[in-house]
Amino acid sequence: MGHRQAGALVASGLLLGGAAGAEESPKAPAGSPAPVAVQGGLSTHFRTWLKARGLSGRAFDRADLLGGSYGGRNQEQDPVTRPPVIFVHGNSDRALGTGSAFHTGWTASIAFFLKKGYRPSELYATTWGPADPNQMANQSHRKAYLTGLRAFILAVKDYTGAAKVSVVAHSMGVTLARKAILGGPAADPLDGGDYDLGAPLTPIIDTFVGIAGANLGLLPCIPAADAAPACSRVNGFFPGTGPGGQGPSALLAGLNAVAHYEGAKVYAIWSTADEIIGNENLVFGRPTSRIPGQDGEKVFTEAPYGHINLKDLTVQHQWRMVAFHETD
């Protein structure tokens, strides 16, 4: 398979991305509270704090994008009484939705958390990557994305003064966030090769929620491993070739070699009807969206809970997992 074929395979929606594909438009479950307005961008207070600490160069605000970021105090007195929640989007999505099927972001989740009493000072998101659906095939667990996400997690913790933060991640954001938290040795063939992320962030993570992640890789990556960075055998979603064959990418092997480092409580939300992951979520007979050592999960088996709707229609489950450590 050549580069052009692999790119078409990934961009068509067979691999983790922000496109809704044939999935129905999200509709709020019965009984959901009315949404509240979500104003994008990091607050002036947070941006001023970042600048004073030399972190403006990280571009967490992503002012170059519509819906590029969210969160922060509006004034010094704004309280933080809960572990702040950091939302991590998937491949080619962005922090907040733009009205496009390719970019639904975390608007629904943030609106729900706000409705349930969370404050903007307790909810955060930034955009990693180009937020360009045409670049899906070229996105992998890059050094820049991992170091940037770790820096954002640490910045939110320090800025809020919280003892711990929580992380809610979707799609490729699940494995990115898991590696950012795990730390340790890593490799990026396109950016200098081997490097080290540092010590695990486990002690500062309260709750981790992984939605529609590909923790065991993706079967469509087997033929595309040598052609698309997203399917890299080093830091992509190459799942291996099955029992007795070649193992998964080095990134995935490392993520799954140990268990329950993602936080004090770890949960997964996934669906056998996920049209992006496919094969009823199974990779060589095991659900790829489960997280080793997880404390619980919420599983769906039919429409409308496809890949994007798993994020946008499970806001109540996300909130209960984070706020109460409950799966129902």
**In Å, how far are 103, 159, 218, 289 from 284, measured between CA atoms?**
31, 43, 10, 13
| CATH class as words, domain 3-25+39-324 | alpha beta
Q: What is the dihedral of CA 168, 174, 178, 181, to 10 degrees?
A: -40
Domain ranges, ordered by start, for the chain: 3-25+39-324
Please give the Cα distance from 222 to 233 (Å, whole number): 9
| 74-114 pLDDT tens trace | 999 999 999 999 999 999 999 999 988 889 999 999 999 99
pLDDT reported for residue 17 = 55
Tokens (6 digits) for 151: 């820096």
pLDDT exceeds 80 at position 205: yes
Closest CA to 217 of 189, 195, 250, 185: 250
User: d(Cα 186, Cα 250) in Å, to the nearest integer?
Assistant: 8
What pLDDT is stored for residue 285 in this prediction?
97
Q: What is the pLDDT of residues 264-300, one digit of tens each?
A: 999 999 999 999 999 999 999 999 999 999 999 999 9
pTM over 0.85: yes
What tens digit of pLDDT does each residue of 248-266 get?
999 999 999 999 999 999 9
pLDDT above 70 for 197: yes
